[in-house]
């Protein structure tokens, strides 16, 4: 790890340390770096904002997207105080972040009461075996939802390539 990368990672840990003094903040910090500059940072504000998606990585992605006025961050690197949970990792995939650098791993996080490992295990299960049950609609309501998707994709300037 380069000196610059270590400095970014230490900054993410410093952001996580704010939780020790700020009510409603949990001990996670993250930042997005593009071309050697921090373009977004975030702390975990789930409790403070009453928002289960307000994890540090998501907040950093939101800030980076707003600062750069784009949602694709394929030139960015995510630095985070701990290994991202499944939601945050997926958010990085959606943003096309090619690299995530973290300090503590999921086992360290689990040791201190966070559920990341349980969620990773749960997602490996067949859908029928998960604690969160999804119910797929069928019939007219599904057809209506699919017609909205089709109308949207048909209006795009480039043809959509199915991603199965």
Along the chain (164 residues), what's the average pLDDT of each consecutive run of 10 residues? 96 96 93 98 96 98 99 98 98 98 96 92 94 93 95 94 90
In eight-state DSSP terms, residue 160 is P
Q: Say what the pTM is.
A: 0.91
Tokens describing residue 9: 């990672």
What pLDDT score does 43 carry? 96
What distance lies between CA 25 and its chain's CA centroid?
Answer: 17
Question: Looking at the DSSP assignment, which residues form a beta bridge with residue 78?
Answer: 32, 100
Tokens describing residue 113: 């009461």
Establish whether 122 is a catalytic residue: no
- Domain with 58, as residue range(s), is 3-124
Domain contains 89: yes
Number of domains in the chain: 1
What pLDDT score does 145 carry? 95
CATH number at residue 72: 3.40.140.10
Q: Which residue out of 5, 21, 41, 57 is catalytically annotated?
A: 57
What pLDDT score does 24 carry? 86
Tokens describing residue 33: 């770096």
What pLDDT score does 75 carry? 98
Domain contains 150: no
């Amino acid at each position: 790890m380069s000196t610059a990368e270590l400095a970014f990672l230490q900054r993410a840990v410093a952001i996580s340390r704010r939780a020790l003094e700020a009510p409603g903040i949990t001990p996670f910090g993250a930042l997005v770096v593009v071309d050697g500059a921090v373009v977004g940072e975030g702390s975990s504000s789930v409790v403070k904002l009453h928002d289960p998606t307000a994890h540090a990585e998501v907040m950093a992605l939101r800030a980076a997207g707003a600062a750069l006025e784009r949602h694709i961050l394929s030139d960015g690197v995510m630095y985070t105080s701990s290994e991202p949970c499944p939601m945050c990792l997926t958010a990085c995939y959606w943003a096309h972040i090619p690299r995530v650098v973290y300090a503590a791993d999921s086992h360290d996080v689990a040791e201190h009461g966070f559920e990341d490992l349980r969620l990773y295990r749960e997602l490996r299960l067949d859908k029928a075996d998960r604690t969160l049950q999804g119910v797929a609609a069928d019939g007219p309501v599904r057809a209506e939802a699919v017609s909205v998707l089709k109308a949207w994709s048909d209006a795009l300037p480039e043809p959509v390539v199915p991603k199965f």
